[in-house]
């Protein structure tokens, strides 16, 4: 007995992309019922009314046209086909560069689809373009993508994309790096973002009563809830100093000397709210929570950094330095 195909659970955006693709591929156009049948062949079941609503929404941003023939309404969007695409060398170089970057994120489902899309665009263009694209692809190499080994469950990624699109709340079991324990919480997912090559979901956390970021690889369980959130999504969410987010901000002032003075100006200047180059060194000022990764970042500059404020952090930095010296003395005594 032939097994029945399982219906796909797709988001509104994904379904509308399917519809737009259909309307673009056939200059003759489709009736709403024909679109419904085609979607059903792809295991996507929706009503004719839903399809007409999707077409209305798509027509606000895309050139979808309708034509009545023999008393029947046909919809089409012939502007979005990719036949005989003419790409310049600059276009091909940009696509080759984008593909090289995306392949560094091959552990992400969305990146794999993006690479496939670029290949399809080039495939639809002229034969000469394809040869040139292959040549250009050998000229770019990206080898400094941190976190590329971070494993992300594809199902988690897809469920979150669907929840974001439909504004569903989600319940997760999450391993927190800060507390070193698992916790269950309900979040309102606003969007996905990459932080140092780690895919995260950003949204309001009901448990912490603030906007937080959650690394997808640390989500042990995820359940999309039937309940929807209604608040407006912030235009500019809070940007952490480094990786970890915290609630209470403090005025941090650091004094960099030696080679670290040059290094900060060259590579880390954007992290500061204010930089002041004075006779005694480079003053680095930042208003941010003092999280564990901030403390480790400061400690990594060794004797070429001094904490000026806050005072408790200056005292901790001093105590850490004394602890390092004490450890070296213990090792020296053991060796002797």
- The series of mean pLDDT values per 10 residues for the chain, 336 residues long, is 58 82 78 90 88 87 81 76 64 84 80 85 70 74 60 84 88 89 94 82 91 91 93 72 75 96 93 94 94 90 94 93 83 70
Distance CA 10, CA 107 (A): 21
DSSP per-residue letters across 290-302: --HHHHHHHHTTG
Residue 97: name the closest of 115, 73, 124, 70 by CA. Answer: 115
Distance CA 53, CA 31 (A): 14
Q: What is the dihedral of CA 290, 293, 298, 301, to 10 degrees?
A: 180
- The answer to whether 266 and 222 have CB atoms below 8 angstroms apart is no
Residue 10: name the closest of 206, 211, 163, 216 by CA. Answer: 163
Helix (H) or strand (E) holding 161: helix 154-166
pLDDT at res. 106: 79
- The answer to whether 121 and 95 have CB atoms below 8 angstroms apart is yes
- The answer to whether 219 and 172 have CB atoms below 8 angstroms apart is yes
Q: Does 310 sit behind a cis peptide bond, omega within 30 degrees of 0 on the bond before it?
A: yes
- The answer to whether 39 and 55 have CB atoms below 8 angstroms apart is no
311-335 vs 292-299: helix axis angle to the nearest 10?
60
Phi/psi of residue 226, nearest 5 degrees: -75, -20
- The answer to whether 240 and 294 have CB atoms below 8 angstroms apart is no
pLDDT at res. 2: 44
Residue 187: exposure state from Cβ atoms within 10 A (0-12, 13-18, ≥19): buried
Distance CA 15, CA 133 (A): 31
Distance CA 189, CA 212 (A): 10
pTM of the model: 0.57
């Amino acid at each position: 007995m032939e097994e029945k195909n399982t219906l796909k659970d797709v988001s509104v955006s994904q379904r509308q992309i399917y519809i737009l693709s259909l309307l673009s591929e056939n200059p003759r156009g489709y009736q709403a019922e024909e679109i419904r049948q085609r979607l059903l062949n792809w295991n996507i079941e929706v009503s004719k009314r839903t399809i007409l609503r999707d077409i209305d929404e798509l027509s606000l941003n895309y050139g979808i046209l309708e034509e009545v023939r023999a008393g029947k309404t046909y919809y089409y969007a012939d502007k979005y086909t990719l036949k005989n695409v003419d790409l310049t060398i600059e276009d091909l170089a940009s696509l080759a560069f984008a593909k090289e970057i995306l392949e560094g994120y091959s552990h992400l489902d969305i990146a794999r689809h993006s690479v496939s899309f670029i290949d399809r665009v080039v495939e639809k263009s002229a034969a000469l373009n394809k040869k040139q694209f292959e040549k250009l692809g050998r000229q770019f190499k990206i080898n400094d993508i941190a976190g590329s080994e971070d494993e992300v469950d594809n199902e988690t990624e897809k469920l979150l994309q669907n929840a974001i699109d439909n504004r569903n709340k989600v319940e997760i079991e999450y391993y927190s790096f800060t507390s070193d324990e698992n916790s269950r919480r309900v979040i309102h997912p606003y969007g996905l973002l990459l932080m140092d090559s780690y895919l995260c979901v950003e949204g309001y956390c009901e448990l912490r009563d603030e906007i937080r970021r959650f690394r997808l690889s640390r989500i042990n369980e995820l359940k999309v809830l039937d309940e929807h959130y209604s608040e407006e999504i912030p235009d500019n969410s809070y940007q952490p100093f480094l990786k970890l987010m915290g609630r209470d901000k403090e005025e941090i002032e650091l004094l960099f000397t030696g080679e670290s003075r040059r290094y900060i100006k060259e590579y880390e200047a954007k992290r500061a709210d204010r930089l002041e180059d004075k006779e005694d060194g480079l003053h680095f000022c930042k208003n941010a929570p003092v999280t564990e990764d901030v403390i480790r970042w400061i400690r990594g500059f060794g004797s070429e950094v001094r904490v000026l404020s806050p005072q408790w952090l200056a005292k901790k930095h001093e105590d850490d330095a004394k602890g390092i010296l004490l450890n070296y003395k213990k090792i020296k005594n053991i060796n002797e």
